[in-house]
Amino acid sequence: TRTESQSLLLDVIRGSVGVKARIVTIDEKETGLRNLVNFGHTIGHAIEAVLTPEMLHGECISIGMILEAEVARYMHGLSQVAIGRLTRCLKEYELPVSLSDSRVTRLAKSLDVTVDRLLDIMKVDKKNSGSNKKIVLLSAIGDTVEDKASTVSDDIIRRVLSLGATVTPILEQPNTAKVTLST
């Protein structure tokens, strides 16, 4: 009694679970291959820690995937085309891809999603090596820069999380504007 779309989604979920089960079996201690399935999770988990329970895990990871793809673009030149394809794919599944998505901004807690707060939460991620944050960096869709999560500095993460800026003219003062960084 499932629709074609529901059956397709169920097949995608089954396939994903099968892949993850195989990877977990191969890399029980999460020393390399297994942490590659955490693409989007370093930043996504930090977002989730602030927005739970109003935002679902998958929604937060979806946003994290795009932000981590932007980190890969900044550090290793992941193409904008690849980020666009990833964005379109996630949007097709009606997932948010940005902290400026209305599903995020309508939440009172969204005001607590600041760069400093996210960086602070990321400090306790299990993939980290000491204070160094680890992020799975894509070199292309389906390929990673390393065969494990890569070390990324707070400065780079801060830059990517602060990419969105709003310029608002100050009408009372001609030729002046206020610049506000999002997140």
Q: How far is the CA of 106 from the CAs of 55, 67, 86, 115, in angstroms?
A: 11, 20, 24, 19
The answer to whether residue 76 scores a pLDDT higher than 90 is yes
Q: What pLDDT does 43 receive?
A: 96
Amino acid type, 61: I
Q: Which residues of 103-132 are buried (b: 16+ CB within 10 A; e: fewer)?
A: bbeeeeebeebebeebbebbeebebbeeee
Dist CA 51 CA 70 (whole Å)? 21
Which backbone phi and psi does 179 adopt, to 5 degrees?
-110, 125
Share of the chain above pLDDT 90, in %: 65
pLDDT of residue 162 exceeding 90:
no
Residue 164 pLDDT more than 70? no
Per-residue confidence at 148, pLDDT binned at 50, 70, 90?
confident
Identify the pLDDT of residue 29: 74
* 80-131 pLDDT per residue, tens: 999 999 999 999 999 999 999 999 999 999 999 999 999 999 998 777 776 7
Helix (H) or strand (E) holding 64: helix 57-76
pTM of the model: 0.81
pLDDT interval class at 176 (50, 70, 90):
low
Residues near 18 by beta carbon (within 8 Å), at least 6 away in sequence: none
- The yes-or-no verdict on residue 158 having pLDDT over 80 is yes
Cis ω on the peptide bond leading into residue 53 (within 30° of 0)? Answer: yes
pLDDT confidence of residue 170: 65
